[in-house]
Amino acid sequence: MFFATLAVHIVAGLTCIVCGAVAALAVKGGPRHIRFARVYLWGLGVVWASMSILSAIRWQQNAPLFAVGSFSFAAALVGYLNRKRRPYLHIAGMGLSYTALLTGFYIDNGPHLPLWDQLPTWTYWTLPSLVGVPLIARAILRRLNRQASKLTDL
């Protein structure tokens, strides 16, 4: 059961990595953004469910990954639920979700990846955030600037 669940987890995780990147880089509100963001969210649900099973089987090894994965899924749900009313929460939620997804990947796989295996353990926990948080802040600021320019054009 462990390896079957792990196979589903890997496929869903890779799907999330690709679809999350495409959605982030696509024109906001456009069909590509919406389509890939939906696949990301559903894939993340599968990642969370499979991660829950894997964590139940090997709790000692996977408890930190369960916490990171749960945060990622919760942040994505916050982002999804605020996609229309509070666009800043949408940007922050989805961005933090993707950052946490990558963090979980590097925590689990970093010691086995070329070049990453040379880094200290703390970098697996911090590098995705050191890259992701400034990009999220930039996206929110760009949204604020666009909104402000629309108000001054009136």
Token code pair at residue 84: 């229309």
Q: Give per-residue pLDDT as tens, 11-46.
A: 999 999 999 999 999 998 899 999 999 999 999 999
Structural domain containing residue 86: 2-153
- Cα–Cα distances in Å, from 93 out to 17, 21, 124, 136? 16, 14, 21, 9
Work out how many domains the chain is built from and give that number: 1
User: Hey, how many other C-beta atoms are within 10 angstroms of the C-beta on 72?
Assistant: 24
Q: How confident is the model at residue 148 (pLDDT cuts 50, 70, 90)?
A: confident
Q: Are 45 and 7 in contact (CB under 8 A)?
A: no
Token code pair at residue 154: 């009136």
